[in-house]
Amino acid sequence: MVSQTNKISLILIPLLLSFLVASVQSGGIAVYWGQNKNEGTLQSACDSGNYVIVIIAFLTTFGNGQTPVLNLAGHCKPSTGACQSLSTDIQACQAEGIKVLLSLGGAIGNYTLTSPSDAQDMAQYLWNNFLGGTSSNRPLGSTVLDGIDLDIELGGTSYYDVLVQTLSSYSSQGRKVYLSAAPQCMPLP
């Protein structure tokens, strides 16, 4: 005969195991890709099975009327259209269920948002050139990224709230726009 305590244990153990499996599956690691030519291809990062999010790094110049500049540190030259070949890798990553985002900022570059309209213009540029909008000059080809990451290490923090709100509003146009941010801690000696 099974005691009341054992009955409860027999019920709780499968529930706890289900919870643990669900917890492990819902977690994951994000990685920045694009700043080290020796890191391999974007697709190899996704094929490793280590990541649930891959963040293409970085759009290093934007805002204040500047032409945005994508810097992928030797992987490809956006100015020649060579980064459009990454479209195949991005689609392969997404087919594996990996979210692919574009990171703005980084430790080098020239970026700032100078007004609410500058932030809205930047959001529209990102939508048309990397997300679900349309442009004849998409730096990463016709593929649609899953979202935008902010790694704002330089300049001020003004108007990023407007940028994020505007990008978030594009989710209502069909496909969810994921947003993430990398906290910047004060370096200590």
Instruction: Identify the H or E element spanning 1.
Output: none
153 in active site: yes
* Residue matched to tokens 């932030």: 119
Tokens at 20, concatenated: 């643990």
Given the residues 47, 96, 121, 153, the one annotated as active site: 153
Residue 175: name the closest of 143, 146, 137 by CA.
Answer: 146
Kind of pairing, strands 53-62 and 69-70?
A: antiparallel
Match 């979202």 to its residue by tokens. Answer: 147
Task: Return phi, psi of residue 102, to 5°.
Answer: -110, 130
Count helices and strands (H / E) in the chain: 5, 7
Report the C-alpha gap between 64 and 161 in whole angstroms: 16
For residue 59, with 0-12 CB atoms within 10 Å meaning exposed, 13-18 middle and 19 or more buried, which class applies? buried
Instruction: Please tell me whether residue 58 adopts helix, strand or coil conformation.
Output: strand
Task: Say how far apart CA 129 and CA 148 lie, in whole Å.
Answer: 12
Catalytic annotation, residues: 153
